[in-house]
Structure 1
């Protein structure tokens, strides 16, 4: 009897640090002794770069355009500490659906039973989360991923994207779709940033899995084309990623979130805007503030 493979999808707004977080998560899980595959689902095809010294790899769609049939092993490339790297790819700019790469790649790997052959423990899908439609919704809609996590900062557009993702999860939750494991709070340095994220997750009835601070260490490592786990394993930032990996490795309780309606989200954001303005102008002091 084959062992259970845990499949996880990491969503997040473009530029939020989703791929950075995912790659460090993959690297950390590999250091913990797990067999991991990272599946890049962004048409930019740069999810796995820092696992491979900053280099790009041929994508599934690019390879299919060159060959009529493809062996899945042709598009799997080994990265740091044995992490298997795959990039789904996308169509030519301005042509077709950007999510088609995910649909095509997932189907190819299922047909050839690659996950079982490689004896994987984790498959981690790194998915663009600005929109949850078409191919980008496949890991949720089809129940391919068992658990979904979203990377979000305290910025409104990141939270807006996370809330949209919650709507997609809730829509498919009753028909076998993936459930939400929680929010990975990224770039959390200012005290109010943590308060904003905490309030959002309270409003939507979910949880924060880990708080990840913004760190120059991450920038230094990425400029070398490496993850923090590889290039700065003894750093405080690496400890945070290892903590995240441990929590996700032991995570079992995912559920359907309660997303805010459009007006609810706007009203919630307006309250925080007023609070931050009062904080900035000295009308209220942080130590005297209470949960808004």
Structure 2
């Protein structure tokens, strides 16, 4: 079983990327599981026609088991109460979070992953690949769990050529480098998701090189992505013969087959600021 985690700045397109990769792998006959690690619990909705599923934490709260030990929970809950099926049988799980204003938002990730392991869910369902869709650029607490101690074999960071997206990616790499000292996950590469009018692939390529990695795939702007999401679908399902669907399929193959990973070398503040200045210059050139 291969476990892969996806990180990146909030709103950068992680869930869109993860769901399309999951759909592409499922089309290839793989048994895929997507674990949504965002308290908003909408990571898997595009695999289920836009329908959101009950989260692990919500299910435990409703059953009065929120404060029970994992051993007690394991005896009182069934797999189908926390795992739901989506497109092509993809297993969907949403970790969820605490009630607003109470507790750590990362607790749902910790509870969900520990419970999945305790109940031997991966083995029971015969999963080939697990994709973790992790909240924004947070690399502390539960949100760091997929990369701590090498739970995920590889980490992929989704970024655009926006300065703040690369700034967030650099912070994620700082966390990865720290966890690597204790056996943490390796960086498989960057996924360049073009957003808006700025397509500065050369700047992102240079950024990746400085980190010690590469861009493993580029996702161009496509109105089909927005159309598909309005229907609660991936482009793999909505427009299977489209060019953008082919791009996602190729990316999915690369990620699944990739066995390489590096400990990133995060940029110092001055270096990342220099990249920001280059982005600013590129934006100004577009305006003129």
TM range (shorter): over 0.9
The one-character-per-residue Cα deviations of 1:107-136 (angstroms, maximum 9, x if unpaired) are: 101111110111111000000132211111
- The structure, 1 or 2, with the larger RCO (C-alpha pairs under 8 Å, 6+ apart) is 2
Gaps of 5+ in 1: 282-292
- Aligned partners of 2:206 and 2:39: how far apart in 1? 33
Q: Is the 8 A contact 1:39 1:126 kept in 2?
A: yes
The one-character-per-residue Cα deviations of 1:29-59 (angstroms, maximum 9, x if unpaired) are: 0001110000000000000001001001000
- Aligned partners of 2:286 and 2:20: how far apart in 1? 34
TM-score of the pair, normalised by structure 2:
0.92
* Alignment equivalent of 2:214, drawn from 189, 207, 221: 207
Q: 1:181 maps to which residue?
A: 188
Q: 2:70 maps to which residue?
A: none
Q: Is the 8 A contact 2:162 2:279 kept in 1?
A: no
Cα RMSD for the two superposed structures: 1.5
Equivalences, count:
277
- Aligned partners of 1:9 and 1:187: how far apart in 2? 20
Give matches, 1:162-241, under 5 Å.
162-187=169-194, 192-241=199-248
SS of corresponding position for 1:9: strand
TM-score of the pair, normalised by structure 1:
0.91
- Aligned partners of 2:61 and 2:167: how far apart in 1? 35
Q: Is the 8 A contact 2:22 2:34 kept in 1?
A: yes
The one-character-per-residue Cα deviations of 1:167-219 (angstroms, maximum 9, x if unpaired) are: 11111112110110000100268685211211111121111110000100011
Q: 1:242 maps to which residue?
A: 249
- Aligned partners of 1:177 and 1:72: how far apart in 2? 28
Give matches, 1:264-279, under 5 Å.
264-278=271-285
